[in-house]
Amino acid sequence: MTAKSDDLLDIWINCPDKGTAAHIANVVINERLAACANIFSPIDSLYHWKGNVERDTEVPLLLKTRTSLFKTLSDRVETLHPYDIPPVVAVPISGTNTAYRNWLLTETG
């Protein structure tokens, strides 16, 4: 996929707790890798890990950024996240209002 510098993404990252989510959010926003972070209430997660089905409580973190920053943001999250394989999932934003788009681009520019 060819990305333009002004394509926008939602980045979903499950964290083990609210403190981890807040720390990652603070770092990437201060470094201008994301314009906004939403920290959600805990969820129950069920997944395969090392041959077993695991169940944990996780805290979803949603970051808003531009596509051109995905690699840098993902690499940065990997240095901050305690999981062996941090779940960093990008979802393209297919549309938004102009004022919000301009704000997001300015804050990550």
* pLDDT tens for each residue of 67-102: 999 999 999 999 999 999 999 999 999 999 999 999
DSSP string, 14-50: EESSHHHHHHHHHHHHHTTS-SEEEEPPPEEEEEEET
List the domain boundaries for the chain. Answer: 8-107
The total number of residues shown for the chain amounts to: 109
Which pLDDT value is given to residue 6?
A: 76
* pLDDT tens for each residue of 61-74: 999 999 999 999 99
- Quote the CA–CA distance of 32 and 36 in Å, as a whole number: 9
CATH number of 8-107: 3.30.70.120
CB 8 within 8 A of CB 65: yes
